[in-house]
Structure 1
Amino acid sequence: METLLSGYIDIVCNIYTPEAVENGWTGLDDDFKRQVRMPPDMFGGVSIDDYLRKMDRAGIERSLLIAVRAGDLRVRGSWEIPYKVIADICAAHPDRFSGLAGIDQTRGMQGLRDLTQAVEEYGFVGAHWYPHWFGCPLDAPQIYPYYAKCCELDIPIMMQVGHNLVYSKERRLPSVGRPILLDQVAIDFPELPIIGIHIGIPWTDEMISMCWKHENIYTAGDAYAPKHWPPQYVRYADSYGSHKVLFGTDWPVIDPERAVKEIADLGMRPASHAKLMRENALAVFKKLPR
């Protein structure tokens, strides 16, 4: 396979294979797919080989795949992607994929043991949490043991901040991810790298404020097409916040080829662009291969 890699690292990527669609591992119904203007021929999924070709054309060297845990499994409409599924994909393509361990704080000590196994046995490089699937604010007591475990394992944790959309009409979720709630978390865990993904819309200024205030808080420009990023977010990424913004797509929400092209069209300074697309990910995810 011919590669045109530019060394980019996509820190927010979901598997969207036919198997994932068939098993209900995406959480997306057809209404949402139409809302994000997904081509109809993609509704049934995209194979890993085809996605690798997309990465090649976009210049993406590595994508971080999320072993999603989306809600308490005792609640109808919740779902998860088994860690082993992501681990096997990463093992088959170790130079292209790394894993992120989804967190379900309702599992208590077992969830903490699962997170440890993901990092120590499967080689996952970080943790991922969807607070809205649990109706759980970012500073809730139930998630604090997982923040502590991430510190112990020396991995970052990312979580969706901002509002969330209606991914499936059968399960409408509350928007509990106000970025300002990370203020106390960063104070309590100053050594924990925290990444607020999805820009923080509609509270983007809060997200920027938290990144500016706390050395250990970062943000990722994923889930929204770069040409629609709020102007203040682009300015932040290209100026005093150039070391705080990471690249992501939230595939299949945003196509990687589109994302890379639209970021190039933003006209950022070369140094800022390099930090966004690769260098910041290597600084935050210490367990990524160099």
Structure 2
Amino acid sequence: MNIQDLDAIDVHVHAEVSCRCPPDAFGREFDEAAEKYFKFHHRPTIPQTIEYYRERKIGFVMFTVDSEANMGRRRIPNEEIAEAALQNPDIMIAFASIDPHKGKMGVREARRLIEDYQVKGFKFHPTTQGFFPNDALAYPLYEVIAEAGLPCIFHSGHSGIGTGLPGGGGLKLKYSNPIHLDDVAADFPDMKIIIAHPSWPWQDEALSVCLHKHNVHIDLSGWSPKYFPPQLVQYANTQLKDRVLFGSDFPLITPERWMKDFQEAGFRPELHQRILKDNAARVLGLA
């Protein structure tokens, strides 16, 4: 990936539709609730997403979310995403997602994906996967990731997944309080951690962890910037200017909408390129 040819790097893009596996109709109510919450309906394939981002000269990180143990839904294969990235290295980077409950089999898969498919990082969603990030069950996975020198993204804060369903669909928000990542950052000081999203209602916890642990970063995905908490913009403009990253949460939010609102959200103009591209390039090992 030649970052000089790109206008931005989006570190938070979801794989929504597999071209290899039929859709898993189990738990369709979660999809319907998310579509209502985020007000979106279009779910592109991986090739369609690649075309979309290439047209806009935006590099992107794509991943699935493996919540098979807690939600009982099949994931999109990590291999499908990784192979697409290998075929489109000018625009796409693949992260893998492995449910921490898979234990030693998950560790084996992580090693295989790193060695055979050259994945460049990992994605975790504590709420849908049903685990605290500082639970020892995940540490063998982190050890593999840290050994390979790769970053990992953790969902944080409120989740649109399950919002509006009875009992939130059984999903529990407590797992995604970013304070639990403080232990992980301390125990794996050489592993780059990205806290995904404005972490409402725990934004101050996320800022504190990021300020205290220099291996921690924050991606700005999942919200329009015009709704960002003021303290997030304040720290992005000052002490954390090198550790905030552009992310959209596509297709839930498009980069066009995000970037338009970003221009008017109070971020210092001289930091725009740093947030949109340079910080991500450094975290991803592209610069």
> Which of the five TM-score ranges fits, normalised by the shorter chain?
0.7 to 0.9
Q: Which residue of 1 aligns with 2:208?
A: 209
Answer with 128-137 or 241-250: which moved more.
128-137
Aligned partner letter, 1:35: Y
Do structure 1's residue 120 and structure 2's residue 115 form an aligned pair? Answer: yes
Shift of 1:16: 2.8
Contact 2:156/2:195 (8 A) holds in 1: yes
Counterpart mapping for 1:48-87 below 5 A: 48=46, 50-56=48-54, 58-60=56-58, 62-72=59-69, 77-87=72-82
Let me know the Cα RMSD of the aligned residues. 2.4
Q: Which residue of 2 aligns with 1:30?
A: 32
Secondary structure of the structure 2 residue equivalent to 1:233: helix
Counterpart mapping for 1:82-97 below 5 A: 82-97=77-92
Q: How many residues align?
A: 277
Q: Which residue of 2 aligns with 1:242?
A: 241
Shift of 1:154: 0.6
Contact 2:38/2:160 (8 A) holds in 1: no
Do structure 1's residue 8 and structure 2's residue 3 form an aligned pair? Answer: no
Counterpart mapping for 1:58-207 below 5 A: 58-60=56-58, 62-72=59-69, 77-167=72-162, 169=165, 171-175=169-173, 176-207=175-206
Shift of 1:172: 2.9
Distance in 1 (alpha carbons) for counterparts of 2:154 and 2:20:
21
Secondary structure of the structure 1 residue equivalent to 2:179: helix
Distance in 2 (alpha carbons) for counterparts of 1:161 and 1:268:
22
- TM-score, normalising length: structure 2: 0.87
Sequence identity, in percent?
28
- TM-score, normalising length: structure 1: 0.86
Show CA shifts across 1:100-157 (max 9, x none): 0102111112211211121221121101111112321121111111121111011011
Shift of 1:51: 3.1
Contact 1:55/1:257 (8 A) holds in 2: no
Aligned partner letter, 2:91: R
Distance in 1 (alpha carbons) for counterparts of 2:192 and 2:9:
17
Answer with 184-193 or 170-179: which moved more.
170-179
Aligned partner letter, 1:123: Q
Secondary structure of the structure 1 residue equivalent to 2:250: coil
Answer with 150-159 or 21-30: which moved more.
21-30
Answer with 261-270 or 140-149: which moved more.
261-270
Unaligned runs of 5+ in 2: none
Show CA shifts across 1:46-73 (max 9, x none): 244543454256541x11110321141x
Unaligned runs of 5+ in 1: none
Show CA shifts across 1:220-239 (max 9, x none): 11111111111111121122
Distance in 1 (alpha carbons) for counterparts of 2:199 and 2:61:
20
Aligned partner letter, 1:280: N
Distance in 2 (alpha carbons) for counterparts of 1:48 and 1:80:
14
Contact 1:186/1:192 (8 A) holds in 2: yes
Do structure 1's residue 269 and structure 2's residue 265 form an aligned pair? Answer: no
Contact 2:71/2:128 (8 A) holds in 1: no
Distance in 2 (alpha carbons) for counterparts of 1:161 and 1:21:
29
Show CA shifts across 1:208-230 (max 9, x none): 11111111111111111111111
Contact 1:99/1:125 (8 A) holds in 2: yes
Q: Which residue of 2 aligns with 1:251?
A: 250
Show CA shifts across 1:157-204 (max 9, x none): 111111223437483310111111122222211111111102211111
Show CA shifts across 1:15-66 (max 9, x none): 234749951399742232122111x5x2xx2244543454256541x11110
